[in-house]
Structure 1
């Protein structure tokens, strides 16, 4: 029996696979093109597409543990529910699902509502699963590091309430630990939810100040203009995705994306250390920019 990791070629999925392989766990990496996938030692690549049901049935054969990670795509809900249904059909009793923080509250944000709908299915069918709810990824800001450095502006319209950003390395660490715990258990474990957050609530102004500190020169906050934010995102992503993210930013402005009081303690318990801070992430990012 083995652990099947979906989203295997993405940043989180690949990091989860590396951690599982390092622990000697039997791992299968789901990919559309196994011939092009460079699997870590001991990892088996398997062909599969979550919109192709026969391929997923085949990929789930001999699997006892599933890491379900879906990209934000227009048919995300179909992919996730179909894969869960096939996992139930295959009798899989060990599941870790990557959801999102505040999915139950941000109902006007499409990709949040999709992930919460999957959570509801997990609950309704009483699937033995760990549901991970990560906050906004710190590594999203790695995509704008050149803009920040070259123009002295932090452009992401985070607002003034605060976002408890989480490092994707911490997400991968908790996901791998959760998969190993379920995989190695003698039977199905109770369903649980873990919120994945960082230690600080970061505002737009606060992020700009941290980048300014790390770069050693002024960085201004670009402001809360959502029209401008949507237009900037649409230069890199499809219009539906840009609008989805605009709605997310609007909720950040109104409500923030804040950790519950117990979340950091739970994270620290699972990780065996404190979660990484946004300041440390920025310092590491700036250091990597000066050495490349």
Structure 2
């Protein structure tokens, strides 16, 4: 089987390619740079532009299945590049896939395409991120799904996966993903204080990969599948990461209300340093704190995520092997 992966050098792309090669697939890896482990003869790297339809046609000819992973992740309220990549990029890749007769496309969207403020328990029927006051990433991921739906109406066989917060091995990025970066800081003993009981659903990247592969095989055309893991207070996630490295902490949990109250002061400071980490968009999901119902993926895809303790152990072991634990 010949498979294409866009965003192949990224965190999810790296793990997906490892799985596909292990399953015996030949992979067309689409990205601007070559990713880790690219020496294998089963992977051919192509620097195609996901915003250029002809470029993508050339990359996807002869491919059976496409996994579209490319996205710009941001916590800003407005970001023209992210909007363009997350909407027009989906439209361009899916149109190119239809043009060259790809059998199936699996689009990696996000839980953020659902409006987390409008449901205590989130499912595939939850209202979508269509309000103008929602951060641009959330709005663009929903808009990208709408672009894909137009191509599905024109005959493309495609399905959508919506993961929650992704973490775990193998992450060779510079910088690492936000969650892995936090886990590494905790494992290195550098986080004595963190947000208290505010929680979110976190999922192992390898479980996301399993969900993507299962969606390619069994997902229903035009359907969404939430890929969650386990809901925990984020301070527990940090403490699990520290414990996996034989350390302790964070020792103090600050109330989220204190961070919210300080946001009018902290957000402009972050913006001055071109950082979106401390922002209303960053704490919004923690304030909403929805429970994610993955029963549809369990039922239709056979999806079975692992416990967070296993992810923490494996991530810290990976960081240690890669020499990145104290980097």
Length-normalised TM-score, structure 2: 0.70
Which of the residues 138, 144, 151 maps onto 2:167? 138
Maintained 8 Å contact 2:135/2:281: yes
Q: Does 1:258 align with 2:297?
A: no
Report the alpha carbon displacement of residue 84 of structure 1 after superposing the two structures with TM.
Answer: 1.8
The question of 1:196 aligning with 2:227 is answered yes
Within a 5 Å distance, the mapping from 1:154-193 to structure 2 comes to: 155=194, 160-179=197-216, 181=217, 190-193=221-224
CA separation of 1:147 and 1:31: change in aligned 2, threshold 3 A: closer
Deviant stretches of 4+, over 6 Å: 34-37, 231-236
Q: How does 1:37-56 map to 2 (within 5 A)?
A: 38-56=38-56
Q: Secondary structure in 2 aligned to 1:177?
A: helix
Decide whether the 8 Å contact of 1:96 with 1:175 is kept in 2: yes
- Aligned-CA RMSD value: 3.5
Give me the TM-score of the superposition, normalised by structure 1: 0.78
Aligned match of 2:189 = 150
Q: Summarize the Cα distance change of 1:68–1:233 in structure 2 as closer, same or farther, 3 Å threshold.
A: farther
Quote how far apart the aligned CAs of 1:178 are.
Answer: 3.0
Supply the distance in 2 between the matched residues of 1:154 and 1:164 (Cα, whole angstroms).
21
Shift of 1:231: 7.6
Give 1:98 shift.
Answer: 0.2
2:279 to 218, 226, 246: 246
The corresponding residue for 1:278 is: 308
Report SS of the residue matched to 1:202.
strand
1:115 positional shift:
1.3
Q: Which residue in the other structure is 2:20 paired with?
A: 20
Instruction: Return the alpha-carbon distance in structure 1 between the equivalents of residues 212 and 224 of structure 2.
Output: 12
| Greater displacement, 79-88 / 277-286 | 277-286
Higher helix share: 1
Deviation at 1:250, TM superposition (A): 3.1
Give, in angstroms, the shift of residue 289 of structure 1.
5.8
Q: Which runs of 5+ in 2 are unaligned?
A: 73-80, 117-128, 169-177
- C-alpha deviations, 1:92-141, integer Å up to 9, x for none? 34010000114131530211211111222233443422211000113443
Kindly indicate whether the alpha-carbon contact (under 8 Å) linking 1:147 and 1:153 is maintained by their aligned counterparts in 2: no
Report the CA distance between 1:10 and its aligned residue: 1.0
**Equivalences for 1:33-182 in 2 at 5 Å?**
33=33, 38-72=38-72, 74=82, 75-76=84-85, 77-106=87-116, 107=129, 108-126=134-152, 127-139=156-168, 140-148=178-186, 149-153=188-192, 155=194, 160-179=197-216, 181=217
Q: 1:104 to 1:288 in 2, by over 3 A?
A: closer
Residues 39-93 of structure 1: per-residue CA shift (max 9 Å, x gap): 4332222231213343222112222321111231523222222222222333334
Could you tell me how far apart the structure 1 residues matched to 2:297 and 2:212 are? 16
